[in-house]
């Protein structure tokens, strides 16, 4: 049985992961509207990843006999000033999520919940990848700058991204 405070904190994080998915889907819609379908594809895949992060929390709560409680998801922004602004937002958002995951780990450690701490380490590693991929695309977008052929090449590259569901334990 999971500690009640821990279960509540995981339910809040489940909502945050769904919000992340919502945010990236909104960014996908923004890119569809600017005819950058490769960027839109990258964001769609990112949204799928976030849903899989949420489901991993969902499954853990069920596994530990805790109740999954779904709450209202905040509406994401719908407009950004530029492609660079979108990826600055993604990078900042992922750094914020890393902070949330670290807080969950702090809580698990403070109540000696080693099982949850162990479970959360998957997210700790995942956030390293998330920050790396967000800052990687941000750097490339900055390099392309105002050069439309550079941006179109990047659009082609991001169009090849496919979703890989996380391995089942
Ligand atoms: Fe996530
Ligand atoms: Fe993420």
- Does the residue 167 lie in any domain? no
- Token pair 């089942």: residue: 168
CATH number at residue 45: 1.20.1260.10
Average pLDDT over every residue of 91-114: 98
pLDDT at 108: 98
Find the 79 Cα to ligand 2 centroid distance in Å.
20
For residue 168, is it within any domain?
A: no
Decide if 120 is inside a domain.
yes
* pLDDT score of 168 more than 70: no
Note the pLDDT of residue 146. Answer: 83
Asked if the structure places residue 169 within a domain, the reply is: no
Q: Is 100 part of any domain? A: yes
Number of domains in the chain: 1
Domain housing 48: 4-158
CA 65–ligand 2 middle distance (angstroms): 26
Res 169 pLDDT > 60? no
pTM: 0.96
The 10s digit of each residue's pLDDT in 109-152 is 999 999 999 999 999 999 999 999 999 999 999 999 888 999 99
Report which bound ligand comes closest to the CA of 16: 1
pLDDT attached to residue 49: 98
Enumerate long-range contacts of 36-39, CB under 8 Å, 24 or more apart: 36/83, 36/151, 36/155, 37/155, 37/159, 38/154, 38/155, 38/156, 38/157, 38/158, 38/159, 38/160, 39/83, 39/86, 39/154, 39/155, 39/158
- Nearest ligand to the CA of 54 is 1
Ligand 2 centroid from CA 105, angstroms: 17
Q: Is residue 134 part of a domain?
A: yes
Q: Shortest CA distance to 78 belongs to which of 132, 17, 33, 128? A: 33
């Amino acid at each position: 049985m999971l500690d009640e405070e821990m279960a509540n904190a995981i339910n809040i994080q489940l909502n945050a992961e769904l919000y992340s998915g919502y945010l990236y889907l909104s960014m996908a819609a923004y890119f569809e509207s600017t005819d950058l379908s490769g960027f839109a594809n990258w964001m769609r895949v990112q949204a799928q990843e976030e849903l899989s992060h949420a489901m991993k929390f969902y499954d853990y709560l069920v596994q530990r006999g805790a109740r999954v409680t779904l709450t209202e998801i905040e509406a994401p922004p719908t407009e950004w000033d530029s492609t660079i602004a979108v990826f600055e937002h993604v990078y900042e958002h992922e750094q914020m999520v890393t902070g949330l995951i670290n807080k969950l780990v702090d809580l698990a450690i403070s109540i000696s919940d080693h099982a949850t701490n162990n479970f959360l380490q998957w997210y700790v590693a995942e956030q390293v990848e998330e920050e790396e991929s967000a800052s990687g695309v941000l750097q490339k977008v900055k390099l392309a700058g105002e050069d439309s052929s550079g941006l179109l090449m990047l659009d082609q590259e991001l169009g090849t991204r496919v979703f890989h569901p996380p391995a089942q334990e």
